[in-house]
Structure 1
Amino acid sequence: MGVSRAPNKCASVGIQGIAWAFGGMIFALVYCTAGISGGHINPAVTFGLFLARKLSLTRALFYIVMQCLGAICGAGVVKGFQKSQYERVGGGANVVNDGYSSRDGLGAEIVGTFVLVYTVFSATDAKRNARDSHVPLLAPLPIGFAVFLVHLATIPITGTGINPARSLGAAIIYNKDHAWADQWIFWVGPFIGAALAAVYHVIVIRAIPFKSRA
């Protein structure tokens, strides 16, 4: 596997600040859209829920297309309002950073997305909802916190994708060679991670008998 082709542009910005920004925004977006679409803002999460038979194929495809269009529009807005900062950080495009191989980047995306999607399953699980009535209200909190932790761990490796739509939107608007060089990693990795989370949830967790505390 080849090594990366771009330096880590996140160090000067502050990894913790970026992680908090992503985690906090995901918390807010999931909270606001949960009652409309179930909070689907990530193709990997949608794919995982589809594999777990919590979503129809038609709805899953529709969500993924809309997520990608939204990401493209969002990246365009950022470029339009903050052109100099946008160029300085490489358009926010996800790449495997210097010192890491493509294999490292793929592994980081698989593990990071597994953590996120498994958290989504756990936070919205019907068995848990039946036992703990407060879970639906608090579901966006662990999801946002999972995003925060995954960013802390993987920003130095890939800039953190775990959302193919976010990676695609940034690549399309920035549209320079290095933005496309590792694009496959930010689709293959998240979809593998989501599939593993779905399998683990359906085969292992859902097989555990439900016991009421009453």
Structure 2
Amino acid sequence: MRKLFAEFFGTFWLIFGGCGSAVFAAGIPDLGIGFAGVALAFGLTVLTMAYAVGHISGGHFNPAVSFGLWAGGRFSGKELLPYIVSQCLGGIAAAGTLVFILSGKEGFAIDNTKAGAFATNGYDAFSPDGYSMGSAFVAEFVLTMFFLIVIMGATDKLANGKFAGVAIGLALTLIHLISIPITNTSVNPARSTSQAIFAQGESLSQLWLFWVAPIAGALVGGFIYKLFLDKKEDL
């Protein structure tokens, strides 16, 4: 249960900090943090929770990461479902908290006809810069694949584990700097699900892509590291 609570709280912090920065702080005139600030916020959530609870659960906070680590031989398949449920519940709880805070502002409403409403992910008309479904799929696939390679390399027994959280947090920051204009950046099905549940509308219809593409990319990234980059024992 300690592991599952760690995943719940870690994912809560990722969604609350990352999506919260997008909905509260990104668009404030003159003082807003913009895309770069949101990207940094997502990276900081993972970095801080990696050191806070990563030693308890491994610090996945993301169903795609759990699948990728399983593919890479670093995680037990029997723990996949409990981890994913905990991650999704943590994300939904964070999104609900964001809605509660936002409701304290007069006139608050989620306009789910606009791209990126309530920090949702999307493609075509719901991509922040109008990217197609194919572009969105490839971006989410490739970025999650490389995210897993970074995670597996940074946490390899031959790497300097003290800096793993820094490398992983910076990788997530870079991923957001690249792809916020494309999909509003997912690479995390729990993150996409939590926002779509409250935004409803087209973000729910497009949610499939933000499960399939990140998980597929993570599986490939995990297999690549295991097969080609992991140090094999000498025969």
TM-score (normalised: structure 1): 0.84
Classify the secondary structure of the residue corresponding to 2:96.
helix
Separation (CA, whole Å) in 2 of partners of 1:125 and 1:141: 14
1:205 partnered with 2:229:
yes
Conserved? CA contact 2:143–2:187, under 8 Å? yes
CA shift in 2, pair 1:38/1:207, >3 Å? closer
1:87 Cα shift?
2.8
Partner of residue 220 from structure 2, selected from 178, 181, 196: 196
Greater length-normalized contact order (CA 8 Å, ≥ 6 residues apart): 1
1:208 Cα shift?
6.0
Matches within 5 A, 1:140-151: 140-151=165-176
When the two chains are superposed, the root-mean-square deviation of aligned CA atoms in Å is: 2.1
Deviations 1:81-105 (A, max 9, x none): 1235773661211112152110000
Deviates more, 1:44-53 or 1:9-18: 9-18
Deviations 1:156-205 (A, max 9, x none): 00000000001011111222x12113211101110111011111101100
1:207 Cα shift?
5.1
Runs of 4+ in 1 over 4 A off after TM superposition: 9-13, 207-210
CA shift in 2, pair 1:11/1:123, >3 Å? same
Partner of residue 196 from structure 2, selected from 135, 147, 171: 171
Partner of residue 82 from structure 1, selected from 97, 102, 105: 102
Aligned-partner residue type, residue 118 of structure 2 = G
Separation (CA, whole Å) in 2 of partners of 1:207 and 1:105: 33
Matched residue, 1:6: none
Matched residue, 1:91: 118
Aligned-partner residue type, residue 199 of structure 1 = F
Unaligned runs of 5+ in 2: 1-22
1:61 Cα shift?
1.4
Conserved? CA contact 1:95–1:181, under 8 Å? no
1:33 Cα shift?
1.2
Deviates more, 1:47-56 or 1:37-46: 47-56
Partner of residue 149 from structure 2, selected from 88, 103, 118: 118
1:42 Cα shift?
0.7
Separation (CA, whole Å) in 2 of partners of 1:181 and 1:73: 21
Partner of residue 154 from structure 1, selected from 179, 202, 205: 179
Classify the secondary structure of the residue corresponding to 2:56.
helix
- Identity rate, percent: 36
Matched residue, 1:109: 140
Deviates more, 1:180-189 or 1:153-162: 180-189
Deviations 1:61-91 (A, max 9, x none): 1111100010000100011012357736612
Deviates more, 1:51-60 or 1:147-156: 51-60
Separation (CA, whole Å) in 2 of partners of 1:136 and 1:189: 28
Unaligned runs of 5+ in 1: 1-8, 130-134
Separation (CA, whole Å) in 2 of partners of 1:57 and 1:199: 15
1:53 Cα shift?
2.1
Conserved? CA contact 1:79–1:86, under 8 Å? no
